[in-house]
Amino acid sequence: MLARSVKAARLATPLRACYAPANSFSLRRNVTTDAASSHADKDAVPAEDDKKFTVNLSPESFESYKIEGPSTEVEVSKNDLKKMYLDMVTIRRMEMAADKLYKEKKIRGFCHLSTGQEAVAAGMEHALTPEDHVITAYRCHGFALMRGATVKSIIGELLGRREGIAYGKGGSMHMFCKGFYGGNGIVGAQVPVGAGIGFAMKYLNKKNTTFALYGDGASNQGQVFEAYNMAKLWDIPVVFACENNKYGMGTAANRSSALTQYYQRGQYIPGLKVNGMDVLAVKQASAWAREYTTSGNGPLVMEFVTYRYGGHSMSDPGTTYRTREEVQRMRSTQDPIQGLKQKILEWGIVSEEDLKSLDKQAKQLVDKEVKEAEEAPFPENTPKILFEDIYVRGSEPDFMKGRTLEETHYYRE
């Protein structure tokens, strides 16, 4: 198979150790990824929509490092469960709409979908307040929606419309709203930024945390470790949350990471590994992490074990580095939406018809806003729009030269 000379092989031997084939141990992920592994006593479910009751998560929902993890008893209400379901369905609908628009060549360039990973964005939002902060990388549409962006502004951004969340000038990985800092195309760059946001919270005596999200691929960037160190050194309220979907682009986690237990990578920072396919486990873990970090304990490293159904991006079929069977198995047996649906019906939270009406509600919302986004105008190609937002208002130069005299843009008119 290898057409190299014997001499070359000898030279290269020291490097060979890096290429140990994948073994079953390193692929093993200890927490469950079962999305329907929690239990509740159907008779104990209250009749009232807003009254809390106890759900017992699977004992395999968490695994902790240097700390005792959260309780597996989650307090939720019927309303909470319905909202979680609606949130996840809406994210998936929106991602499917983006997928369709991309394939119709209406969205161009870069587009990374989070289909399969909805439980992380939805569950996390149910544990946070609007004053908390979230910053993530390029798979950001779901988080932006959860943080309060509209479907229209997200899809509008992907379509490059003026009403997009970044005025159509950013695209897929450039989405910002209150408490949400993007959306970043440089892998790992968001993590130290998250630590800085956390530091500001501490400095201002605000009891708010920051979730700095990154993928298993990004976890090997140097700046991630630099951020860990600063955060621990200064006891910054920040949660370093790794979304481990098993593949960093086309490379399996164990082929890129010497330690695939990402929750232990903080070394001197306590860690928690979470079933990222179960929205209730995500909520419980996130609420616990929020409490821990805002109580003066310093940072925390989390790992959400999750899975993306699609490729890394729209032009990756996602089947060249993993088997179709693997994707199919995750889709059919571990789906976060189906998992919650099963539990909602099992516990008699709402009827199947009610769930269908929630599905319909999500579909109608997404369809309507996608339509509006498609009808929204492109930004005008005027110097005023091209040159906006590059200098703080009041500090601009007098003018920016255009191609002709007429196109020259004067900041101070």
Partner 1 sequence: MMRSVVPLRFLRPAFRATVPFSTSSRRNHAQGNLEKRKLNIPIDFAASSYLALNSKAAFSNPELPSTLSTTSKTKRMNLFQAVNDALATILETDEKACIFGEDVAFGGVFRCTMGLSERFGGERVFNTPLTEQGIIGFAVGMATQGHTALPEIQFADYLFPSFDQLHNEASKLRYRSGGAESFNSGHFVVRMPTGAVGHGALYHSQSPEGFFMGTQGLKVVIPRGPIQAKGLLIAAARGPDPVVFMEPKILYRAAVEEVPVGEYELPIGKAEIVQMGDQITLISWGTMMYVCELAAKAAKERLGVSVEVIDLRTIRPWDKQTIKESVDKTGRCIVVHEASRTGGVGESIASEVQERSFLRLEAPVQRVTGWDVHMPLVFENFMVPDVARVFDSIKKTMEY
Closer Cβ to partner 1, 69 or 171, answer by number: 171
CA distances from 270 to 226, 247, 254 (A): 16, 24, 22
We find the least distance from the C-beta atom of residue 95 to partner 1, in angstroms, to be 14
We find the least distance from the C-beta atom of residue 115 to partner 1, in angstroms, to be 14
Q: If you search the block for the tokens 């890394």, which residue do you land on?
A: 312
We find the least distance from the C-beta atom of residue 128 to partner 1, in angstroms, to be 26
CA distances from 89 to 121, 145, 352 (A): 12, 12, 15
We find the least distance from the C-beta atom of residue 46 to partner 1, in angstroms, to be 46
Closer Cβ to partner 1, 3 or 47, answer by number: 3
Closer Cβ to partner 1, 69 or 170, answer by number: 170
Closer Cβ to partner 1, 171 or 179, answer by number: 171
We find the least distance from the C-beta atom of residue 27 to partner 1, in angstroms, to be 14
Closer Cβ to partner 1, 186 or 233, answer by number: 186
> Residues with Cβ < 8 Å from 133, sequence gap 6 or more?
179, 180, 181, 194, 197, 198, 201, 208, 209, 210, 211
DSSP-assigned states of every residue in 174-239: ---BTTB----SSTTTHHHHHHHHHHHHHHTT----EEEEEETTGGGSHHHHHHHHHHHHTT--EE
We find the least distance from the C-beta atom of residue 108 to partner 1, in angstroms, to be 4
Closer Cβ to partner 1, 194 or 217, answer by number: 217
The answer to whether 77 and 49 have CB atoms below 8 angstroms apart is yes
Which neighbouring-strand residues pair with 362?
none
Closer Cβ to partner 1, 248 or 336, answer by number: 248
Closer Cβ to partner 1, 367 or 389, answer by number: 389
CA angle centred on 356, ends 352 and 360, rounded to 5°: 170
The single-letter DSSP state of residue 340 is H
> Residues with Cβ < 8 Å from 274, sequence gap 6 or more?
31, 61, 62, 281, 282, 285, 302, 303, 304, 305
Q: For binding to partner 1 (CB under 8 A), which residues are involved?
A: 1-5, 7-9, 11-13, 15-16, 18-19, 105, 108-112, 138, 160, 168-174, 185-189, 217-218, 220-223, 248-251, 255-257, 311-317, 320-321, 378-379, 381, 386-387, 390, 400, 403-404
> Residues with Cβ < 8 Å from 62, sequence gap 6 or more?
31, 69, 70, 72, 272, 273, 274, 275, 281, 285
